[in-house]
Amino acid sequence: MEQVAILTRVSTQGQDYERQVVELTDYCQRMNWEVVKVFANKVSGATRNHRKTNRLEAPKNCITLT
């Protein structure tokens, strides 16, 4: 079984990661992948000078949900 991590992202403080985590976890189960970590990040697209998180930086800039 392949091991994977899930990265969820929302853009406002009022949004929740839960739906993304559920849907991505379901997908991973269908693909026979083992989810070993779930990371979550809130990144606003409205902040002009905000540097977007790239894939390599994601784990250190995210909260860990699992």
Q: pLDDT digit string (tens) for 18-64?
A: 899 999 999 999 999 999 988 888 776 665 544 555 554 555 555 55
CA dihedral 63, 10, 37, 52 (to 10 degrees): -70
Q: What is the pLDDT of residue 17?
A: 85
pLDDT of residue 49: 47
**What pLDDT does 59 receive?**
57
Contacts with 47 (C-beta within 8 Å, 6 or more apart), sequence order:
none
Does domain 2-64 match CATH 3.20.20.80?
A: no
Q: How far is CA 30 from CA 1, 16, 37, 40, 50, in A?
A: 12, 23, 17, 22, 36
Burial, 62: exposed, middle or buried (Cβ in 10 Å; 0-12, 13-18, 19+)?
A: buried
Q: What ranges do the domains of the chain cover?
A: 2-64
Backbone angles phi, psi at 39, to 5 degrees: -110, 145
